[in-house]
Amino acid sequence: MRVLLGSGGIRTEEQVKLYHDETANHFQGVDEVLFIPYAGADHDYYLERMQNFSAQSGIKLVGIHQSSDPIKAVEEAQGIYVGGGNTFLLTRDLHNNGLIESIRKRVRAEMPYMGVSAGSNVAGPTMQTTNDMPIVAPPSLETLNIVPFQINPHFFSGQTWKKNGDTFTPHHGETRIDRLREFHEHNQTPVLGLSEGTYLRWDGEVGLLIGGDATVFQSGKEPTIHASKTKFDGNLLPIN
């Protein structure tokens, strides 16, 4: 398989360069990539913005929402890119357009898939490790299951801080680590917490971490931090 999952939160010059390098490498030999903008509310606007950004990667995007038959668009696509936004919205529209099974089938048959943020969340068995607000109700939280673990994008450890003027004060909501521990009180699937600006390349058996560190959460165990270039198996156990 050819799966590339990004955390999002790309801001520095170095992060932007890595984004374009990874995207170009991932879609090498693909003339046209099918873009799925369902995580945003305004599909035309989102497509245009991403077309401009992806031109720098040498990638041509076409919008699935401009096709009268989205399932056929997936069946005929040379590559798929699922953008970020709200994961509940994205998951609802993937289900309502009947795309879960068709995307899964194509990706398992070696079509390149790239997801960023919400687009990485839906690559796992469920979207249950999203950070997003449930602004709509999808018919199911089950997603593409093209990687056998869960993704938590925009991961960071520690407390949230608020800034008022020049003063920082702590926020007392649950930390990301609290939330993922709670996830494992009810679920067994391991979770990869991807720091902002990082990627996982997944070939169907081995995952390779690119651009920064990631934190692995296993049910009943302490989280572990892994550096860029770490390789993982499908249980998120590091491979030497």
Among 21, 41, 105, 203, binds a second copy (CB under 8 A): 41
Helix (H, G, I), strand (E, B) or coil at 215: strand
Helix (H, G, I), strand (E, B) or coil at 137: coil
Tell me whether residue 22 or residue 93 sits nearer to a second copy (CB atom). 93
CA-to-CA distance for 138 and 127, rounded, in angstroms?
Answer: 10
Sign of CA dihedral 97, 99, 100, 102: positive
Of 177, 205, 174, the closest CA to residue 191 belongs to 177
Count of chain residues binding a second copy (CB under 8 A): 42
Q: Is residue 154 flagged as an active site residue? A: yes
Min separation Cβ 76 and a second copy, Å: 30
If binding is defined by CB under 8 A, does position 173 make contact with a second copy?
A: yes
H or E stretch covering 80: strand 80-82
* Interface positions, 55-114, toward a second copy (CB under 8 A): 86, 89
Tell me whether residue 131 or residue 218 sits nearer to a second copy (CB atom). 131
Q: Given 7, 54, 120, 154, which residue is catalytic? A: 154
- Cβ contact 156:171 at 8 Å: no
Interface pattern 187-206 for a second copy (x via CB under 8 A):
x--------x----------
Q: Give the range of 67-75, 100-108, 160-168, 215-223 binding a second copy by CB under 8 A.
A: 160-168
Tokens of 194: 């991807």
Among 145, 159, 218, 219, binds a second copy (CB under 8 A): 159
If binding is defined by CB under 8 A, does position 162 make contact with a second copy?
A: yes
- Where b means 16+ CB within 10 Å and e means fewer, 153-178 reads bbbeeeeeeeeeeeeeeeeeeeebbe
Q: Is residue 203 flagged as an active site residue? A: no
Q: Is residue 117 flagged as an active site residue? A: yes
Min separation Cβ 28 and a second copy, Å: 28
Q: Which amino acid is at 155?
A: F
- Per CB under 8 A, residues contacting a second copy are 8-11, 41, 86, 89, 127-137, 140-141, 154, 156, 158-164, 168, 171-174, 179-180, 182-183, 185-187, 196
Active site (catalytic) residues = 117, 132, 154
